[in-house]
Each structure stands twice: as C-alpha cells, then as structure tokens.
Structure 1
Amino acid sequence: MQLLAYIILYPFLWFISILPFRILYIISDFTFFLIYNIFGYRKKVVTNNMKLAFPEKTEQEIASIRKKFYHHFCDMLVESIKSITVSEKEIMKRYTFPNVDEIHQLEKENRSIVLMMGHYGSWEWIFILQKHVNYLGYAVYKKLSNKYFDRLVKRIRARYNSYLITTKETVPTLIKAKRNKELTFNGFVFDQSPKLDKAMHWQKFMGVKVPVHVGAEILAKRLDMVTLFLKVKKVKRGYYEATFTDIIRNPKEYKDFDITDLSLQRVEEQIREAPEFYLWTHKRWKHAKFD
C-alpha cells in the first residue's frame, strides 16, 4: 500500500512542484478555502492553543490571527512541494541569511555547530544554508511512516549536502563525525512536546509550564559544539530572512538547560511579534501544567 500511495501521489506532487510560484500561491489560496472553511482542519486545536497562549486576546483577535495562520500554513504546504524541483538559485533568492559571516568565522575556528530553532516562519528551506558554508549538515527529524516518501524527503535534502537523521542515529553519527574531524552543522527544531516519560526539563512557554526537548543542548555540551539560535522572519509571501543569534562558543560554561530556556524564550518573542507564523496545528501544550 505504501508503494501504491507513492506511485499515485508522487506524479501529482511533481507536477505541482514545476509550476511557477504565482500559480502555486493560487493553489495555496484554494487550499486555504478548503481546509479552513470546508474541512476545518485542526481548527479546534489551533483555537485552543491560541487561547491558551493569548488569554488576554478577544475572540475577534484570535479569529484574525487564526485566519492569517491558515493562509501561511497553506503557503508552507505548497512551498514544501516546490522543494522537489526548485532550483538552487531560486531558493537562495527566497531564503537569505543576512549574517552568514558569523558562520564563516566559526568555520575558521574549526567549530561544529548546534542550531536551535522553532516551528516558526519556515524551516523547510533552511537546507539551502549548505550552499553558503562548508559544513556537513545534519537535521534531526521524525521518520515518515511511508518509507518511499521518507526516501524522497531525504533525497531532496541531500541535494545540498544536508542529511536527515533520526533521534537514535544522532549521537553515533555525530561522535563518528567528530572522530573523523568533520565540521558539522546540526539543526534541531526543538519546540515540540517530548513524551512525558522522556521529559527532563519543564519551563514556561507562552505563560504555560510545559516539558521541553533538551537533547540539542546536551549534545552541544558533550561534543563541545557552538550553539546558536535561528530567528526566521517572513519578509513577504515566499521570502524569508534567517538571522543567527545568541552564539554561545562555550556551552559547558552554562548551567543545565539555560541554553534551552534562552532559545525557547527566542521562539516566544517571535510568536508575540507575529503570531500568525507559528505552527499552531501541533499540540504543543498537551502536557501543560497549571499551577
């Protein structure tokens, strides 16, 4: 069944991916109409999340943010599909890194990097960073249930010397890279909710106490890697600006979880600045504690 699903869907996705962006955003607008007005995809989850994060906002304000979010969400869907065939030149024009010189300096210092970011703005096109640097790129991800689509996503990332690894693969992969004296750039989208039995740290996020993933910080300390946060800004439709902030060269000097808390604070700052660009469809607060 997995192969059949792939055979049926892939040609359709490939065809969409070769369309020009102006057509893709027409498709995005139509998709928005379907999932927002007709199917109401996860609308209850999104609404509850927003009310939890913004208890001070009125129903009208929540509805306005929610509608803007779904427009952005649909844009991200078509942009992800576009990744199948989009050119290197096109993505480099649309996803820029104003202070990439900071990374070049770390290259000169022969330092590997742990990058932390939230589900904010766009994280699908960050792999184009590999065309600006000489690092071997890894991104920790959750394996797709369909092995054929999983291979497709890996193949897309590998076009730019960036590779997806599962949580179980992360430690042995990066230890091996360190032994081989390879410079690695390791991305963690860390603001999802961990399983309760693996929750080591709780912190307030948007005013609510939640469990937080701490693997990125632990790995940075263990392997003596620089940590930094990526702040993503949506400049306009289909264009993003990603800035490196909070560069920490000596993570071992920080108390446990301080780096994680700082990065979580940065995600919250982005949300408060423009909440419509956060991924409200996931159940971030499902294990929330209310004191």
Structure 2
Amino acid sequence: MKYPALSYYILYVLTYLFALLPLWVIRLKSKLLAGLLYYVLRYRRRVVRDNLTRCFPEKSEKEIGAIERRFYRGFTYQVLSSFKLLTYTPAQLCRHISLEGLDVLEQLRAERHPAILLMMGHYGNWEYFSGSQEMIKGSGLQIYQIYRPLKNTAADRLMHRIRERFGSRGIPKHDVPRELLHLMRAPYPAETPLVIFIADQSPAYAGSYWTTFLGRETAFFNGTEKLSTKFSLPVVYMDVKRTGADSYVGTIELLHHPQETVPSGAVTEAYVRKMEKTILRDPALWLWSHRRWKRPRLPQ
C-alpha cells in the first residue's frame, strides 16, 4: 500500500511545482508541446483531420488546417494550464472564469427541486469550470461532477485534488443513479445538488440516442434525460464562450423544466442543438481528438 501512496505524492509535488510557473511560461511550453504533438508525433492527426473534414465539408483544406493547428495549441494549453488550479487563489480563478445566468439556478432552487442537472461539453477549458463552486458560494448550491475514474490510481487521486480544490465534489460515472438518489434523500444541510454531466462523449450502443450533430449521424448519452424523467428534475445547459486569451464565461440556460411534458429524446435533442451552436461559434475550442464517431449506427 505504500508504493501507490508514494507515487501519488511524487506526482503531486511535480505537478504542484509545474503549477507554480507563471502562465506565460506555461503558454510557451504548451506551444512547444503542440508543435511536438502535431508535427513530430502526429498525435491523433488522422482522427482530428477526419473529424473536421467530415463535419465541415464546405471548408477548404487551408481552413481545415488552420482550425486543426489552433485546436492543438488550445488543447495543449488547456491541459497544462489546468494544473494551475492547484495554486490559483480565488481571485486569480475569477480572472479566468465567470458565470452568467445564475438567476436560472436561483429560481430552480427557490422551487425546492431536490437536485438540478447541468449539461455541458468538452469545450474551452472545461477543467477550469471545476472551480465554479467558488462562484456560487453562499448560494445554497453544491456542485457534483460526474467523472470516469482513471486506471492509474495516483493520477486519479491527483485529478480529484485538482477538481475538488475549490469545493466541488465528484461522483464516479458508474455510481450516478445510486449517489443521486442518496443526495436527494439525505442532502447536505441547506444545499441543493448541482450535478454536472459533460455529455458529448461517444456512448456505447445500448440506450444511445441518435440524431444529426454537426451534419453527421451521432449517438449521445441519454442518461441525463432518463434521470431527469425518473426523478422529475430540471436540466440546464452551460454555454461556454471564450472572452480572452485564457478567460471564459459560462452562461446558464434552462433546458428542461419537470413541469413540461415533452416526448422521449426531446431533452437530449435540446442539448445537442445547444452544444452544436456553442461549437460552431469557434470550432477550434472543441475536443476534436476524441474518436467521437467511432461507432456507426446499426441497422434498425
């Protein structure tokens, strides 16, 4: 048991020392890393180019190449700058992220819903928004993030430390229904759970919702919609917009109210349309290296 603990502390110390570097140094390192990944190692170049070409058939090869290079620079900076969450003060964090539309959450909390579900995507610096609990302190809302546990226990423990430093809490992906039920039955005093789902990853075939996304037939998780229906919970969407070189604003919008009667798939479809609009605003900020379309739709 000592060796896993030792590997975690070594990883933590190294990451913390890196996080002490000024942002301009991290930006320089990220550019060097982007060049290495793009030109030398060619990390997922084929996946990124295929995704972009198929989603934007109207764009020229030059335009696709420009988005591609911007993606690699943004992606490497997003990864490296996320470690700064270990050292940011609340004031520093607030210079990088802000929230709008909090009145939507306040109204839903006032309606005394046992929980609120929030859907967003891998867009911009999504890791920064794990610090959003700092923005809503004193609001009576408590953020819970759904995450997929990492196989490496040291890395998994480190990511917990980073994501929960400003007060957010985590729920393993496979424990969501049970933990959500527990939170609704025995909530923490004076806190309404705000459960965040990053819902733009590729799901398994079972229970997938199929629709057209960025011009392509695409499967989506519909677990958030199922939980909303089962427990009569409201669903909100967070639209992320880049406002500076390293700053983002997340705008909360109501996606579904449990008093509304909608057909099956309507909540997931609403999320897809919102997410598509967010991506089209600045495509380079989305996670194009993900094998989003690896599973074709099976014949009915």
TM bracket (short chain): over 0.9
Aligned equivalent of 2:155: 149
4+ residue segments displaced more than 3 Å = 1-10, 288-291
Task: State how far apart, in whole Å, the 2-side matches of 1:140 and 1:226 are.
Answer: 17
Cα deviation, residue 39, structure 1: 1.4
Specify whether residues 6 and 165 from structure 1 end up closer, same or farther in structure 2 by C-alpha distance, changes over 3 A only: same
Amino acid paired to 1:184:
P
Cα deviation, residue 149, structure 1: 1.7
Cα deviation, residue 151, structure 1: 1.6
Aligned equivalent of 1:65: 67
- Asked if residue 237 in structure 1 is aligned to residue 240 in structure 2, the reply is no
TM-score, normalization by structure 2: 0.90
Amino acid paired to 1:81:
F
Secondary structure, in 3 states, of the residue corresponding to 1:136? strand
Amino acid paired to 2:265:
F
Amino acid paired to 2:230:
R
Task: State how far apart, in whole Å, the 1-side matches of 2:4 and 2:293 are.
Answer: 32
Specify whether residues 281 and 251 from structure 1 end up closer, same or farther in structure 2 by C-alpha distance, changes over 3 A only: farther
- Correspondent of 2:202 among 193, 204, 207: 193
Amino acid paired to 1:201:
Y
Specify whether residues 282 and 3 from structure 1 end up closer, same or farther in structure 2 by C-alpha distance, changes over 3 A only: farther
- Asked if residue 226 in structure 1 is aligned to residue 234 in structure 2, the reply is yes
Task: State how far apart, in whole Å, the 1-side matches of 2:161 and 2:264 are.
Answer: 36
Task: State how far apart, in whole Å, the 1-side matches of 2:259 and 2:156 are.
Answer: 33
Secondary structure, in 3 states, of the residue corresponding to 1:83? helix
* Percentage of pairs with the same residue: 29
Aligned equivalent of 1:277: 285
Aligned equivalent of 2:222: 214
Aligned equivalent of 2:172: 166
- Correspondent of 2:122 among 82, 101, 119: 119
Alignment check: 8 A CA contact 1:208 1:290 kept: no
Task: State how far apart, in whole Å, the 2-side matches of 1:105 and 1:184 are.
Answer: 14
- In structure 1, stretches of 5+ residues that fail to align are none
Specify whether residues 157 and 251 from structure 1 end up closer, same or farther in structure 2 by C-alpha distance, changes over 3 A only: farther
1:112-160: CA deviation from partner (whole Å, max 9, x where unpaired): 2100111111210212221213222211111011112212222233333
TM-score, normalization by structure 1: 0.93
Specify whether residues 73 and 91 from structure 1 end up closer, same or farther in structure 2 by C-alpha distance, changes over 3 A only: same
Amino acid paired to 2:199:
F
- In structure 2, stretches of 5+ residues that fail to align are none
Cα deviation, residue 106, structure 1: 2.2
Alignment check: 8 A CA contact 1:202 1:211 kept: yes
Alignment check: 8 A CA contact 2:11 2:155 kept: no
Amino acid paired to 2:42:
G
Aligned residues, how many? 290
Task: State how far apart, in whole Å, the 1-side matches of 2:27 and 2:298 are.
Answer: 40
Aligned equivalent of 1:246: 254
Aligned equivalent of 2:92: 90
